[in-house]
Amino acid sequence: GDSWGIFTFLCAALCNLPALPALNCSEELGAGQSIQQTYDLTRYLEHQLRTLAGTYLNYLGPPFNEPDFNPPRLARAERVPSATVDLDLWRGLTDNARLAANYRAYSRLLCYLRVLDGQVGTAELRHRLAHFCASLQGLVLSIGGVMSSLGYPLPAGPAGPPAGPPGAPPAPNDFLKKMDDFWLLKELQTWLWRSAKDFNRLKKKVPPAVVTLRLEARGF
């Protein structure tokens, strides 16, 4: 029939082309995939921190490991980047401003955690803290990658892990030192919870990676 004749004609035409074009398939890894990876890493860190926080609070002992322990935030703890910003105010910021705030906060929180890692007395807890620090370092780099892919400049961050918490004098007693550690973990939990929401919203605004087919016509 007519359909078979058209099909035969097309096959013959393709067979007699002087040179077939090379078809290249390449995936452009853009902002969409970078945002998705950062979101996934944030959720992973949330899960990782739940286990680490429980272990660390047990290491601190009572009252820090008691479920209903909810102390007021002391002036010393204000040095830890706080995530307790009004949600409407936070959502009103530009994507660039929120990403820069996340980048700066995690860079600084990482410095505190590295100091913590060098102070704990058990090998198992040091191992868990070191693993979490490595994951958090990956999150800082991942946020930087998202900013670069969206064309945003990276904010200035700490040059490296300080000898002590940035700008913080040593705690005058053991209880206040434990309070510093408690607030560090508490703020980390809040930052990661909010960051997961930030990247979930952002990935809905940015299209996923596109598979592009490029046709190289050589002799065609």
Residue 144 has pLDDT above 60, yes or no: yes
Task: Tell me which residue of 159, 132, 156 sits closest to 144, measured CA to CA.
Answer: 156
Query: What pLDDT is recorded for position 21?
Result: 34
pLDDT at 44: 96
| Residue 7, in any domain of the structure | no
CATH of the domain at 188: 1.20.1250.10
**Mean model confidence pLDDT for the chain:** 77
Does 114 reside within a domain? yes
3-class SS at 63? coil
pTM of the model: 0.74
37 in any annotated domain:
yes
The per-residue pLDDT for range 42-54, each reduced to its tens digit, is 999 999 999 999 9
61 belongs to a structural domain:
yes
DSSP string, 19-58: SPPEEEEEEE--HHHHHHHHHHHHHHHHHHHHHHHHHHHH
Q: Determine, yes or no, domain membership for 213.
A: no
Confidence of residue 88 (pLDDT cuts 50, 70, 90): confident
66 part of a folded domain: yes
pLDDT the model gives residue 1 = 55
Q: Does 211 map to a domain? A: no
For 71, list phi and psi in degrees, rounded to 5. -75, 160
State the pLDDT confidence band at 119, using cuts at 50, 70 and 90.
Answer: confident
* Cα–Cα dist 34/220, whole Å: 37
Question: Does 168 reside within a domain?
Answer: no
Which residue is it, tokens 């560090």? 184
Tokens 């990661």 map to which residue?
Answer: 192
pLDDT of amino acid 209:
54
The total number of structural domains that make up the chain: 1
- 52-85 pLDDT tens trace: 999 999 999 999 999 899 887 776 666 777 877 7
CB 38 within 8 A of CB 146: yes
Range of the structural domain that residue 71 is part of: 29-159+174-205
Residue 113's contacts (CB-CB under 8 Å, 6 or more residues apart) are: 129, 132, 133, 136, 184, 188
10 Å Cβ neighbour count for 102? Answer: 26
Q: Which residues contact 14 (CB under 8 A, 6 or more apart)?
A: 20
